[in-house]
Each structure stands twice: as C-alpha cells, then as structure tokens.
Amino acid sequence: QRECCQTAYHLVHNDSSAVIWVTFKYDGSTTVPGEQGVEYQHFIQQYRDDVRLFAFVRFTTGDAMSKRSKFALIPWIGEDVSGLQRAKTGTDKTLIKEVVQNFAKEFELEEDFIKSELKKVEGANYDTQTQ
C-alpha cells in the first residue's frame, strides 16, 4: 500500500512526468492512490460531497525569467461525509504526510488561491519589472 502511494507521489513530483496531480482515497480503512491526471480541471472533478480524500498537485509558477514547480497538499472532506470519517481525517493526514513529504503548502481547493499562495513562497518575481 505504501509503495503504491509513493509511486503515485513520485509521478507528480517528477518534473518530466506529464501527471500533475494524484489523489489518495480510501479502500475501506486503507489509504490507496486514486485518480491521477494532467489537467487541473479534471482534478477538481474528484471533489464530491460524498468523499474524503487527499490530493498532491504540481503547479508551475514563476515568470518570464524562470519557471519552477511547486507542490501542494490538498485535503478534502465532502459535506456528506459522516462524523466518524471526518474525525479520522486528522490521523489519516499524518499517514499521508509520511508519503507526501515535499510540498510548499497545504491548501484549500481553489486554483487561483493556490497559485497566489505559491507565488508568495517562491522568491524573485520578474513579472513586475518592465522591459
């Protein structure tokens, strides 16, 4: 199980991979890799009211002078998830963080918010300079 999760994590973490996101979902009480993809719009379709999951997502940030990959961990608990399952999410997050160790920030789901927050932690920003 852990090896499968690590394989999914490395797909996203590898800049030469087209995969930019992977979810980690539940198979009973076991956390397993879920879906994966190359487009953010397909990623957000994974978030439904009846599921709880974690996602590891690569964003390309930067400016005209330099591009960099930044990573985000995004937990999700749908509105229809039971109280018991909600309570277990904190413990489960600890287990996920044993696999997903390299990320800039843990976020909410909105893409623009995530990109804005990642830009704050990346350093130099040459977009504000005139040519």
- The ranges assigned to domains in the chain are 2-112
Strand partners, 74: 55
Helices (H) and strands (E) in the chain, counts: 4, 5
Q: What is the pLDDT of residue 94?
A: 79
Classify residue 130 by burial, with Cβ atoms within 10 Å: 0-12, 13-18, 19+. Answer: exposed
Q: What percent of the chain has pLDDT over 90?
A: 24
Nearest-angstrom CA–CA distance, 11 and 16: 9
pTM for this one?
A: 0.75
Instruction: Determine the residue type at 12.
Output: V
Sign of the C-alpha dihedral, residues 74, 98, 33, 12? positive
Annotation: CATH topology of 2-112: Severin (3.40.20)
Q: What is the pLDDT of residue 114?
A: 63
Nearest-angstrom CA–CA distance, 107 and 104: 10
Strand partners, 36: 22
Q: What is the pLDDT of residue 122?
A: 62
CA distances from 131 to 124, 126, 127, 128 (A): 16, 10, 10, 10
Q: What is the DSSP code (8-state) at residue 115?
A: H
Q: What is the pLDDT of residues 45-91, one digit of tens each?
A: 888 888 889 999 998 888 778 888 889 888 888 888 898 888 888 78
